[in-house]
A and B are shown apart, each in its own frame.
Chain A
Amino acid sequence: RKEVEQDPGPFNVPEGATVAFNCTYSNSASQSFFWYRQDCRKEPKLLMSVYSSGNEDGRFTAQLNRASQYISLLIRDSKLSDSATYLCVVNNNQGGKLIFGQGTELSVKP
């Protein structure tokens, strides 16, 4: 089993739609969780951290469920510019190793 697993998609949605991505992790000792965004043929960039109480940044909401070892990202009112690959990232607390999921591709259509 992979340490961090995501549905690779692609998710094809119309502008204005709400879309949710899920991610599961296998190491119950993991303490830190993040979502990164990667545009085509570009480097990944931090989108947002995921806190235990859940957190929101504009149209983006991240949730953590430690009991189920599950992280989610919700994007409301999708824009064309949201088209990218979204990477779930977990710090497995072994000397600072960040483990990346394989990414979920999102394509927002007009």
Chain B
Amino acid sequence: NAGVTQTPKFQVLKTGQSMTLQCAQDMNHEYMSWYRQDPGMGLRLIHYSVGAGITDQGEVPNGYNVSRSTTEDFPLRLLSAAPSQTSVYFCASSYRSEDTGELFFGEGSRLTVL
């Protein structure tokens, strides 16, 4: 049972490069989301989706794009990487969107932007 799978686990980018963090879940969850975690800041919501074809912005959406073409996949795209986007990124999913109590997280993607 894979749960939530994120790739890559580690990535180093140069300023201005673009990349996509992949996230897939095999639990048929409606709700998927992306968080970033920085020291002393906790997890901050970037974007989320309550179902295929539906996405919305979280607290810190600038510099990131998402799409949800299938229930299983929710990729996060960095359009033009900046050093401020150096962080640990977590993808998470939940069965129901209206009561997202138990989020299931991926193992995280550690991104460094030079």
| Interchain CB contact under 8 A, B106 and A43 | yes
In the complex, A43 Cα to B50 Cα: how many Å? 21
Residue B58 lies at the interface, judged by CB distance under 8 Å to chain A? yes
Size of the chain A interface, CB-CB below 8 angstroms = 22
The total of interchain contacts (Cβ-Cβ below 8 angstroms) comes to 58
A42 to B1, CA, bound (A): 18
- CB-CB < 8 A to A96: which residues of B? 31, 48, 50, 94, 97-100
B107 within 8 Å of A (CB atoms): yes
Residues of B within 8 A of A (CB): 31, 33, 35, 40-45, 48, 50, 56, 58-59, 90, 94, 97-103, 105-108
Report 13 cross-chain contacts, Cβ distance below 8 Å, ordered by A residue: A32-B101, A34-B102, A42-B107, A44-B105, A45-B105, A46-B103, A87-B43, A91-B100, A91-B101, A95-B48, A98-B33, A100-B42, A102-B42
